[in-house]
Structure 1
Amino acid sequence: MAITLTAQDKDTLRTAAYGAVSLMAAADAAGSPHKVATHGSIALTSATGPVGHVLAEKSKIKDLNGKSAAELADHVLPALTTAMTLLRKQDPAEAENFRSTVGVALDAGMRAHKGEPGPALTEMYRKIAGALDAA
């Protein structure tokens, strides 16, 4: 089934996916935030299907310059829920592809962390998963 995404829909998907990786990096501020961000972003580039094409597009992603994790979360967590909602309406399989892609990126970010992930990183993972499941 083909899906139709507006420019705004695509912006929402990119904000949600790359924003989730940014939130994980922000939660690992005392550890290896750059490694978390790098590994998570690389994982997003491995996405396939319509979601993969959207995430591979070269464009500026808005609202990812928050001055705090809270400010960033104000934009990213709703974008995750919105992305899942709009994809589920058009193609439930593609919604699952998006959820899986973000999950792989989060897992890659968690593995980039030295040692066992701390409570802040684990809690941010939980919040992101909750936003994905809220749709």
Structure 2
Amino acid sequence: MGINLTDQDKLTLRTAAYGAVSLMAAAGAAGSPHKVATRGSIALASATGPIGYVLAEKSKITGLHGKSVAELADRILPALTEAMTVLKQQDPAEADNFRGTVLVALDAGTRTGKNQFSPVMADMARKITGALDAA
């Protein structure tokens, strides 16, 4: 099965993936949000397959900043579900690739020196995973 994404679909995927990393960085502000964002973004840039090409495209992604974590979550969690819905309709294997890529980016961005999530980041990871699985 092939994958044929519109420009809007691609923007939704990039917004969802990079937004998930931004959401984790915002939730972990007590730690090092810059490290979370950098490590997570590097992981997203390492994606392969059609998803890797979409995430590597250079385009402006708006809406990754908010006045609160809640405001950011209101935009990003639905985008994650929408991205998974679009991908599942076209190619379930690419939906799995996208889901795995986002989760690896979260893991890469949020591991502490003791290899554990903080409770706040663990809760946000659960919410992000729930949004990915809601489709």
TM-score (norm 1): 0.96
> Which residue of 2 is the match for residue 102 of structure 1?
102
Match status 1:52 vs 2:40: no
> Which residue of 1 is the match for residue 84 of structure 2?
84
Say whether the 8 Å CA contact 1:43–1:104 is kept in structure 2.
yes
How many pairs were matched up? Answer: 134
Structure 1 residues 69-126: Cα deviation after superposition (integer angstroms, max 9, x where no partner): 1111111000000000000000000000000000100110122x34442211110000
> Which residue of 2 is the match for residue 33 of structure 1?
33
Say whether the 8 Å CA contact 1:32–1:114 is kept in structure 2.
no
- Percent identity, aligned pairs only, is 74
Say whether the 8 Å CA contact 1:36–1:110 is kept in structure 2.
yes
> Which residue of 1 is the match for residue 43 of structure 2?
43
Structure 1 residues 7-50: Cα deviation after superposition (integer angstroms, max 9, x where no partner): 11001000000000001101110101110110000000010111
Match status 1:13 vs 2:27: no
SS of aligned partner of 1:84: helix
> Which residue of 2 is the match for residue 132 of structure 1?
132
Output the aligned Cα RMSD: 0.9
Which runs of 5 or more residues in structure 2 are unaligned? none
Q: Moved runs in structure 1, 4+ residues, more than 4 A?
A: none
Say whether the 8 Å CA contact 1:31–1:114 is kept in structure 2.
no
SS of aligned partner of 2:59: coil
